[in-house]
Each structure stands twice: as C-alpha cells, then as structure tokens.
Amino acid sequence: MLLHHICHKEIHATLSEAELARVYNTPEALLTHPRIAKFARWVAKRPPDFLSRSEGKRRPRR
C-alpha cells in the first residue's frame, strides 16, 4: 500500500510491526485505531504536498 511519508511515519510511531501485521493490516483497520483516526482527520485538512515532522516515537519500547 502506498502512503504519504508523514502518514507512514505516524503509523510506525504509533503501532509496532507486530500490531500492524496482526490487527491493523488494512486501511479500514488502521482507521479503527483512535490515534490513527484522529491523525487521518487532521491530515485530511492539509494540502497534498504538506510535510510535517513527526514528534517521534509514541509507543513504549519493549
């Protein structure tokens, strides 16, 4: 699946690879995650060429 760079960074800052593989493996499933859904609503209001720096990792290291 192709994603805009900031969307890709936000997804990986929020979810682990294992979570992506097991639970959030479709666009529809990703949008059920509260943080991803909030981000999607926010970024939908931005122009297609919008770039922003991710705040960094949000999920704790295991």
Higher local confidence (pLDDT), 12 or 61: 12
What is the model's pLDDT at position 62?
A: 54
pLDDT digits (tens, 9 = 90+) for 11-52: 999 999 999 999 999 999 999 999 999 999 999 998 888 887
Whole-prediction pTM value? 0.76
DSSP letters for 17-56: HHHHHHT--SHHHHTTSHHHHHHHHHHTTS-TT-------
Cβ(55)–Cβ(14) below 8 Å? no
Please, are residues 23 and 29 in contact by the beta-carbon 8 Å criterion?
yes
